[in-house]
Amino acid sequence: MSALVTDYDRLAVMQICLEQQLTQPAVFELVVRELPPRRKFLVAAGLEQALQFLKSLSFSEAENAWLRHQGRFSAQLLDYAHGLRFDGDVDAMPEGTVFFAGEPIIRVTAPLPVAQLVESRLLNLVHFETAIASSAARIVLAARGRRLLDLGLRRAHGSEAALLAARAAYLAGFDGSATAEASRRFGIPALSPLFLRSDAIGVGTLSSLVEAPSTAPGRIVDTDDVLTHRAGLVDAATALRCKGIVLDGVQIDGPDPSARAWSLRARLDAAGLGDLAIRVSGDFDETHIGALAAEGAPIDEFGVCGWLPEDGDATRINASYEKRVTASDAAAGRGRALLQPCMRAGKRVGRTPTLLESRRYHAEQMAQLSETLREAVGESR
Amino acid sequence: MSALVTDYDRLAVMQICLEQQLTQPAVFELVVRELPPRRKFLVAAGLEQALQFLKSLSFSEAENAWLRHQGRFSAQLLDYAHGLRFDGDVDAMPEGTVFFAGEPIIRVTAPLPVAQLVESRLLNLVHFETAIASSAARIVLAARGRRLLDLGLRRAHGSEAALLAARAAYLAGFDGSATAEASRRFGIPALSPLFLRSDAIGVGTLSSLVEAPSTAPGRIVDTDDVLTHRAGLVDAATALRCKGIVLDGVQIDGPDPSARAWSLRARLDAAGLGDLAIRVSGDFDETHIGALAAEGAPIDEFGVCGWLPEDGDATRINASYEKRVTASDAAAGRGRALLQPCMRAGKRVGRTPTLLESRRYHAEQMAQLSETLREAVGESR
């Protein structure tokens, strides 16, 4: 990974460190000083990506050429950048750890020029995955055992965002992701087999295969019109079955999911399609899902389309990367001893847990959480 | 780019298309049906990334192996995937185009199995960059000529998100990005030389270089404490100057930026540091920036830390990828003729504008925008 995924002023500070011979080891800790409003706990995630970033930290030839071309960096900096590797120590919470304000998530001990250079990307990775995992953990509590599927690819902020969100959500107890590459790369179950969707391409593409009474070939059914086309969905599912195409379920989105799920369930059952599951998709947070689960709506699976919804309370976690005066200062008086050795002199140490192991560890952490902290979910507004 | 950056059910539908011999060319359009509340226009972005994605679309050996390993795909699908390339046509709005509801942004004409496969990633790229460019364009209007800097790396959703946000913001008129890799990759000005920051690492690292009266070596100054440490900032800037370290300015964040900028400006001027610029950073949207610019606060530069802030009105743009019955259906009766040929039979056609050219084109588009549409900015709440 490119060492240039950093703020430009980190390069300027790196040069000053070299000029002033400030190359001694420094200790930094990544910490959340204060929990977001209405949050009682957070879930550590992104540490594996952070370690991979540090392990492969370097400037490529093209990047070194770009640094030279800038014209504002010293020969000393260019020389230092040329051979730069991360050769420091890292201690970190295991992924999936439930943590609280003020508990360091990662501690980096490395020469000051490097330790400060990596701030931006470490925060970038750990902030994002931790925000997702923390939201997902609350959704899992709220869903009361319903299946939960990450459907976030289309509106994620690029593909890396989609893949890391799928990973963090699975770590925190989601059942799967619809993003195929997330399944391949991280072994996350691909829980998105053939659902007849109520949006344009779902019905549009599939209905072009059949000639159901109310679904003309190639007809586009608007998401917004789905309520008036509900008969079309059931007819299309029936027609597809006649054609030998086995659906796993029907997916609906839009307003009033409870009433629509009840109505759809009745119509599917009446049409002999009782084996088709109902998935409801949307920009759900734990409040919506908690309400739907509590009232017992016939929803088999929730598809979460938008991560960190705009009205969410943890789009921003106030994470920072703080310099400690000494290692003993960093270690002293910080309550629970959660950090474990992950890197020594730039090499990974200890066993790297699989994502599934981290997911199980997180589930154990959640099981130990006091009722007070668990109950806050869904009753926070 | 991996063809597996798609929703899993697109693969299932691809298989059905093949089984049912539905491989004829189909026409899809990516369109925003309705503008977000309080938005009068949007700015097209992400099209270059979309074209690069289509140009390089394929399944790698590892991806083909993963598909085989799934056990639910037919030999026909596996064979089709093995040699898959995008060989269709693409027409698209030039990047930077100001557009309105219902105007297609991209039209894809390709065999149905492929045309529907690429939906997820096309939406992923175009939705994100268009959302950023559209927000950035409003911020540019609101800033009334103040410099605007993307500072979003730390809280972006991964590095791809940070790089594409920097690109989209620059396209829409931002002056630069602090992300070094965005500067290298896209030629965006690196507008983040040495600013003394009021947060931990800025003052912490730099003040470890100096012995200013109120800034003990290695002392950590909390962001939250910056108001009480303002003297420390000015003293540190003075001490750094004595040491021969040339700062470009001082960066502050936190509440009440106007009062703090006035106070800081006076203290800097009194200390003979009148040449240092003041940058204010934060989760600004166009309302905040418009208010600060309108009152004439002594702010030289705004640093935007959080893209698509949680209270923003365009975190979600209602973009969809819709199947048209025929190409003539797609082309007919759609008002302005904005689409230009970009790919024919899988090959790029026409000249690809540079990012700087697209930025200028966007500026021309904005200059032609009626006062009504421009004035909406900052008065929308």
pLDDT digits (tens, 9 = 90+) for A176-194: 999 999 999 999 998 766 6
- Asked if A306 and B323 come within 8 Å (Cβ–Cβ), the reply is no
Residue A295 lies in a domain: yes
Chains A–B, number of C-beta pairs less than 8 Å apart: 248
Residue B309 lies in a domain: no
* Distance (Å) from the alpha carbon of A361 to chain B's nearest alpha carbon: 25
The CA-atom distances, in angstroms, between B370 and each of B101, B359, B373 are 17, 19, 5
What pLDDT does B227 receive?
Answer: 31
Residue A381 lies in a domain: no
* CB-based contact, B159 to chain A, within 8 Å: yes
Asked if A122 and A68 sit in the same domain, the reply is yes
3-state secondary structure of A347: strand
Residue of A nearest to B53 (CA): A159
Asked if A14 and A115 sit in the same domain, the reply is yes
* CB-based contact, A234 to chain B, within 8 Å: no
Record the tokens describing residue A82, joined without a space: 């040329």
Among residues of chain A, what percentage have pLDDT more than 70? 81
- Chain A residues near residue B283 by CB distance under 8 angstroms: 316
- Chain A residues near residue B72 by CB distance under 8 angstroms: 193
- Does A346 score more than 90 pLDDT? yes
Find residue B2's DSSP bridge partners: B58
Residue of A nearest to B318 (CA): A155
Q: Which DSSP string corresponds to B167-191?
A: HHHHHTT--EESBHHHHHHH-----
- Asked if A9 and B193 come within 8 Å (Cβ–Cβ), the reply is yes
Residue A27 lies in a domain: yes
Residue B381 lies in a domain: no
CATH code, B255: 3.20.20.70
* A304-319 pLDDT tens trace: 988 765 445 556 788 8
Asked if A154 and A284 sit in the same domain, the reply is yes
* B265-288 pLDDT tens trace: 998 999 898 988 898 988 888 888
For A323-341, give one letter per residue: b (16+ CB within 10 A) or e: bbbeeeebbeeeeeebbee
Record the tokens describing residue B120, joined without a space: 């997820």
Domain count, chain B: 2
Asked if B247 and B333 sit in the same domain, the reply is no
Residue B75 lies in a domain: yes
Asked if B220 and B324 sit in the same domain, the reply is no
**pLDDT-based confidence at A71, cuts 50/70/90?**
confident
Q: Which among A284, A304, A324 is the end of a domain?
A: A304
Who wins on pLDDT, A371 or B167?
A: B167
What pLDDT does B205 receive?
Answer: 47
What pLDDT does A97 receive?
Answer: 98
Residue A3 lies in a domain: no
Asked if A339 and A193 sit in the same domain, the reply is no
Torsion of CA A322, B198, B257, B224, to 10 degrees: 40
Asked if B203 and B279 sit in the same domain, the reply is yes
Who wins on pLDDT, A197 or A67?
A: A67
* A217-273 pLDDT tens trace: 333 333 333 333 444 677 777 777 776 767 788 888 888 899 989 998 998 999 898
- Which one of A21, A117, A157, A321 makes the best mutation probe of the B interface by having the most chain B beta carbons within 10 Å? A157
Q: Which among A277, A304, A331 is the end of a domain?
A: A304
- Does B229 score more than 90 pLDDT? no
CB-nearest to A9 from B157, B194, B200 is: B194
- Asked if A181 and B6 come within 8 Å (Cβ–Cβ), the reply is yes
- Does B333 score more than 80 pLDDT? no
Q: What is the mean predicted confidence (pLDDT) over B322-345?
A: 76
What pLDDT does A198 receive?
Answer: 55
* Distance (Å) from the alpha carbon of A196 to chain B's nearest alpha carbon: 10
Asked if A53 and A29 sit in the same domain, the reply is yes
- Asked if B192 and A7 come within 8 Å (Cβ–Cβ), the reply is yes
**Residue A68 main-chain phi, psi, to 5 deg:** -60, -45
- Structural domain of residue A15, as residue ranges? 8-131+316-375
Who wins on pLDDT, A277 or A110?
A: A110
- Asked if B184 and A66 come within 8 Å (Cβ–Cβ), the reply is yes
Asked if B148 and B287 sit in the same domain, the reply is yes
Asked if B265 and B166 sit in the same domain, the reply is yes
HEC string of A6-26 equals CEHHHHHHHHHHHHCCCCCEE
Who wins on pLDDT, A331 or A253?
A: A253
* Cβ A124 vs Cβ A158: under 8 Å: no
CB-nearest to B4 from A1, A7, A180 is: A180
Asked if A300 and A325 sit in the same domain, the reply is no
Q: What is the mean predicted confidence (pLDDT) over B85-99?
A: 97
CATH code, A321: 3.20.140.10
Q: Which among A304, A333, A353 is the end of a domain?
A: A304
* Cβ A305 vs Cβ A288: under 8 Å: no
- Chain A residues near residue B125 by CB distance under 8 angstroms: 158
Residue B1 lies in a domain: no
Mean pLDDT score across all residues of chain A: 83
The CA-atom distances, in angstroms, between B86 and each of B52, B153, B224, B371 are 11, 32, 52, 42
Asked if A153 and A99 sit in the same domain, the reply is no
* B161-220 pLDDT tens trace: 999 999 999 999 999 999 999 999 999 998 766 676 654 444 444 544 443 333 333 333
Residue of A nearest to B249 (CA): A9
